[in-house]
Structure 1
Amino acid sequence: MTEDAQSWSSSMETGPSGESFLQKIFRRLSTTQCLKLGANEAAPVAVVSVQRYLSEQPEEGQPGSYSYDVTVTDGAFRAKCLLHATLNHLVHVNELRTGGDVTVTRWSLVYNERRLGRGYVCIEGVSCNEGASAVLARVSCVHALPRASCVHALPVLVARGVGPHGHAPLQLGRKHYLPLWNNDDPEGDIWSSGPPPSDTVLDVSRIALLSSLESSFRTSWKPLPLLVRIIHKSRLRYYGKFGLKIDFPYQAYYEVADQSGSMSMVLWNELCPDFYRRLDVGTVLLLQDYTLKQSYSHRSRPQMDHHRMKSFTSVEICLNPRKPASVITVVSPKKVQPDWGLPEVCYRFAAR
C-alpha cells in the first residue's frame, strides 16, 4: 500500500483489525487458493460509477453484448470491479446505479492468462439496496468536502499480483468506455477539448481549393493543403463490433467550405477523441496529408441550401490517424484573414 493510501485509511472508519471492508476482501482474494470468495461478513458498499464497453467475449446469440465495470467504495477506498455478465440486467433496469448502495455476496479474482500481472476482481453476486447511499453520506460528513470531490480523492485498491488499470476498461481488449445509454456521445477523459488554437504563423501561399479536388481524385498528384471553415458538424458515429481490431471505431462527418464551395470531411478513429470536441461550427482549419475518397451516394446529407454555395458531393476529405497521418491545425480566430475568402457560417431558423 502506498503512503498516501495508508494516510487515508488511518483517517477513515475501519474494522477491529485496522482494515477497511474492501481491504479485507482484496487481501483474502489475493491469498485464497480458489480465487472465489463469498462475503460471509458482508457490508454495504456504494456504487461510484458504472461504465459500459463492448465485451471481449460476447454472450451466445448476442454479438453486440456489453460488459460493465463498476467502481465501488467502502468509505475508505475505491475499487474498480467487473460486473459478471449474469448481473448485467441489474444495470439495464437501473437497479444497480451510481449513487446507490449494494451488498456484494460473491467475489472472484480473474487473471489474464495472456498477460503477466494483469487481471481484475469480478462481482459475481450482488443485492441492491433501496434509497440513497448511506456510505457516500458518511464519506461526505467525514471530510467536510463536496461529496463528488471527496469520493474521487479516495485511494484505489488493486489486488495483489494485478497491475493498475488507470482509466481503461478492465478487459484489456478494449481501450475506451461508451456512454451508459447510447453510442453517440463522447464518454471519459480521453475525449480531449485540447489546447487553445496556436498563434503560430501559417504558410497559406500554396493551398488547394475544394473545387480542384474532384479533378485530382484518382491521380498520383499529392493534394496541396486546404484552408477551410467548418459549416456543419454531425453527431459522433460508433461502428464497433465484436472481432473488429480497431481501438477507437469512431467516425464523424463535417461539412467544410472555402471560397469555391463546400465538401464533406470525415474524421476517423483515434482522431475523434483528439479533435471531435475541438472542431465546432465556425472553426477554421489548415489540413495537410489528407486523402480523398469517393462519396457514398446514398448517404444522408444536411440541408445546405441556405448557404448559397456550390456543393461538391462526388468525393470527400478523409482525415486518418495513419497511412498517412493527417495533420490538422486549428487556426486561432484572430489569425483568420479576410483575404482568405472563407465564407461565414449561415443559420436557418424555423418559426413555430
Structure 2
Amino acid sequence: MEDSASCSSTVDGLPRESFLARTLARLSSTQCLNVSAEGAAPVAVVALQRYLSEKSEGLDSYSYDVTVTDGVWRAKCLVHPSLNGLVHSNSLRTGGDIDITQCSFVYDERVLGHGYICVEKLRCGAERSALLSRVKDVGALPMLVRRGMECSAALRSDAPLQVSRKHYLSLWNNDDPEGDIWTSGFSKITLLCSLESCFRKTWKPLPLLVKIIHKSRLRYYGKFELKIDYPYQAYFEVADQSGTMSLVLWNELCPEFYQSLSVGTVLYIQNYTLKQSYSNRSHPSEPQCIAGLNVISPCVCFQEICLNPRNPISFLTLIFKVADLPFYIFNSVRGG
C-alpha cells in the first residue's frame, strides 16, 4: 500500500491503514481500474463542488467533484454522471455519510501525472455524519493521491478534476463566487504589530492597509554635491487596529503623492521596506495619534515604513480620502 498511495502533506503519527488508502491501493493493482469495494466503510462528505461538464450528459451539463474523508485521509473524487440525480435531490450532500460500493481510477493523459478516483456507485447513509463529529480539524487531514501525482494534486487543489475546467460554480446557482480564486487581495495583508517580527528578515513583508492619522510638513534635504533630482521626504503616522507606526515618503514619491495624502486617507501599500526609526525625530502627541481610533497598542516606534521610488519601487493605492473616518468603517473595508 505504501507503494501505491502517498499523502500530499504529512501529519506525524497519522495511521496509514484506512478505507480510502486501501481502495486506492486496490485500484492501483487491478487492470480494469474498476472494483467493487468489499466491506465498504462509511466516509463523510466534506465538500461537494459543481462545474461545467466537458461533455454534455443529456439535460445535465454539469459535473461534480466530491471530497470525502474516512477520518484518516481526505480524497477528492469525480462523481460519475449517473449519480448526478443524487446531488439534484440533495441526497448526496456535504456533512452526510456515504458508502462507496464501486469506483475506478481515471488517468488524464492531457496532463502528465494527473489522475483521480471516479465514484461510480454509492449508498447514501446518515444525513448528519457521526464520523465528522469525531474529527477535530478536517483540513489538517492529508490529501490522498496516487504516488507520482502529488504535484498535479497540489496545483489543482482548488480546480476541477477535469482539466479543461479552471473554476468551480456555486452549487445551486451560477451567480455566487465559489472557491479561493475569488479571495480578495486585501485579505492577504499584515498588521503593523506583526512587522517587528519580520524586521531584518529576508522574506518580503505582506501588504499593509492603514489609515493616515498625522501628516508632517515636507522636508527638503538638498545639497550642492547631492545628485538627487527631488531631495524631499515627508513623515506620516499611520494606524490599523493593532497599533501606529511612522511612514516615510522619499524623493520622487513626494511630488507624486504628498498633496494627495491627508489625514483620513486609507492606503494599500505594497513593496515597502523597513528600517530602524530615527530616535531623535519628534512624534505627534498620543491623543493626536490615536484620536477616534480603537487601536490595541498606542504606538509601534522601533521601525518605520519606507516608501521609495526605486530599489525597490513602492506601490501605493489610495482607497478613499475622508478626514474624519469612523474606525468601524475602516475595519469593514480592511476585511476585504
Distance 2:76 2:7 in 1: 17
Write the letter of the residue equivalent to 2:102: R
Contact 2:77/2:118 (8 A) holds in 1 = yes
| Secondary structure of residue in 1 paired with 2:134 | helix
Aligned position for 1:226: none
Residues in 1 aligned to 2:104 and 2:96: alpha-carbon distance in whole angstroms: 22
Report whether the alignment pairs 1:155 with 2:142.
yes
Classify the secondary structure of the residue corresponding to 1:132: coil
Report which of the two structures shows the higher radius of gyration computed on alpha carbons. 2
In 2: Cα distance, 1:176 partner to 1:31 partner: 32
Give the letter for the 2:106 counterpart.
V
Equivalence for 1:169: 160
Shift of 1:41: 1.8
The 3 A distance-change label for structure 1 pair 79 and 98 is: same
- 1:270-281 matched pairs, under 5 angstroms: none
Residue pairs, 1:100-119, within 5 angstroms: 100-119=96-115
Q: Which of 7, 10, 21 matches 1:5?
A: 10
* Mapped contact 1:77–1:155 kept (Cα < 8 A): yes
How far apart are 1:8 and its partner, in Å?
4.8
Would the aligned equivalents of 2:160 and 2:167 in 1 still touch at CA under 8 Å?
yes
Question: Is 1:178 matched with 2:169?
Answer: yes
**Letter of the 1:91 counterpart:** V
Give runs of aligned pairs for residues 32-43 of structure 1, distance below 5 A.
32-43=30-41
2:214 — aligned with what? none
Query: 1:50 — aligned with what?
Result: 48
> Partner residue of 1:311?
none
The one-letter code matched in structure 2 to 1:103 is: D
* Cα displacement (A) at 1:116: 2.3
Residues 52 and 69 in structure 1, CA contact (< 8 A), matched pair in contact too:
yes
> Structure 1 residues 3 and 181 mapped into 2: Cα distance closer, same or farther (>3 Å)?
closer
SS state at 1:58 partner: strand
| Cα deviation, residue 194, structure 1 | 1.7
Distance across 2 between alignment mates of 1:108 and 1:67 = 16
- TM-score (norm. length: structure 2): 0.53
Q: Aligned-pair RMSD on alpha carbons?
A: 3.0
Amino acid at match of 1:7: D
| Cα separation, 1, equivalents of 2:148 and 2:82 | 26
Are 1:127 and 2:141 an aligned pair?
Answer: no
Matched residues in 2 for 1:184 and 1:7: separation? 41
Q: Distance in 2 between matches of 1:123 and 1:78?
A: 14
CA deviations 1:122-142 (Å, max 9, x no partner) are: 0000000134211112223xx
Matched, 1:331 2:329: no
Does the Cα contact within 8 Å between 2:74 and 2:142 map onto a contact in 1?
yes
Q: Distance in 2 between matches of 1:88 and 1:52?
A: 10
Alignment of 1:21-40 (within 5 A): 21-40=19-38
8 Å CA contact 1:50, 1:68 repeated in 2: yes
Gaps of 5+ in 1: 11-17, 141-149, 200-282, 285-328, 338-352
Out of 181, 193, 196, the position equivalent to 1:190 is: 181
Specify whether residues 116 and 53 from structure 1 end up closer, same or farther in structure 2 by C-alpha distance, changes over 3 A only: same
Tell me which stretches of 4 or more aligned residues in structure 1 moved more than 4 Å.
Answer: 196-199
- Quote how far apart the aligned CAs of 1:19 are: 1.0
Task: Provide the identity percentage.
Answer: 56
Pick the aligned partner of 1:96 from 92, 95, 116. 92
Aligned to 1:271: none
Question: Which amino acid in 1 is paired with 2:40?
Answer: A
Unaligned runs of 5+ in 2: 1-5, 187-206, 211-265, 268-315, 324-336
Does the CA contact (< 8 Å) of 1:8 and 1:76 recur in 2? no
* Residue 138 (structure 1) aligns with: 134
User: Does structure 1 conserve the Cα–Cα contact (< 8 Å) formed by 2:52 and 2:61?
Assistant: yes
Cα deviation digits, residues 39-77 of structure 1 (max 9, x gap): 0120000000000000011114x3x61000000000011
Structure 1 residue 9 displacement after superposition: 2.1
Q: Which has the higher strand share?
A: 2
Aligned to 2:224: none
What corresponds to 2:238 in structure 1? none
CA distance in 1, matches of 2:119, 2:163: 18
* C-alpha contact (below 8 Å) 1:44/1:102 kept by paired residues: yes
Equivalent residues in 2 for 1:296-307, closer than 5 Å: none
CA shift, 1:197, in A, is 8.2
**Paired AA for residue 48 in structure 1:** V
Q: How far apart in 2 are the matches of 1:3 and 1:109? A: 18
Distance 2:180 2:7 in 1: 25
